[in-house]
A and B are shown apart, each in its own frame.
Chain A
């Protein structure tokens, strides 16, 4: 979904590896096509993030950054966050926010910083 110059991507449920990789390809293409400046990935409906899913999300964020758009990951479930930390996945290069509202505010703030 597109909101202004931002793309909103919603991930839900428990995704197969192939689906995750397909989403990665489609979203990267969409960012290029729409020349989006920001992307919000809402994972509040994602019940499982294992090392594979985390790796693909981090890779997607990296690719989208090369296309000139910043990403904020929002809505991670507490159980998923605890699990990722114990698993050893830091996702330290990925910006996160508690919810979509804060995520949008962050993306807006990033663009303002660039203007001045």
Chain B
């Protein structure tokens, strides 16, 4: 199935904790525009908040960006968000994807929890090459 972007893309740069609110506001607006239900939208915004906070907490100087796109596939609309940073990367991805594993003093739910909240989740990371997480939520 082909996935096309509807041409609406937005980039939110992340550099401080105060940017999390902009990430959430943008995700919520895109979710509404794509016609996602309230629960699907809340899950997407919450997952986005967790991933953006990971950037603030773990990336170099907390710098990164989020690309937010409106999607269409087989008549369904959705929202895709790509979180990328040039931080240290995650050396042990298997551990990082398991519940309650944390190196930053949090609850350790950010990555595994975010994965459970969205329809599609993929992560590309490794020592020295930063981290990119892509999440997608589809409407009914």
Q: Interface residues, chain A, CB within 8 Å of chain B? A: 14, 16-18, 47-52, 55, 77-80, 82-83, 86-89
Contacts and interface: CB of A to CB of B under 8 A. Distances in A.
A89 B132 CA distance: 24
Given A14-B21, A14-B24, A79 B42 contact: yes
Given A78-B39, A79-B39, A88-B112, A16 B17 contact: yes
A47 B45 CA distance: 10
A104 to B, nearest CB: 27
Contact of B107 (A49, A55, A83): A55
Nearest to B45: A48
Contacts of B45: 48
Contact of A50 (B41, B49, B99, B116): B49
Given A52-B53, A82-B39, A83-B39, A88 B113 contact: yes
11 contacts: A14-B21, A14-B24, A48-B46, A48-B49, A50-B46, A51-B107, A79-B38, A79-B43, A83-B39, A87-B116, A88-B109
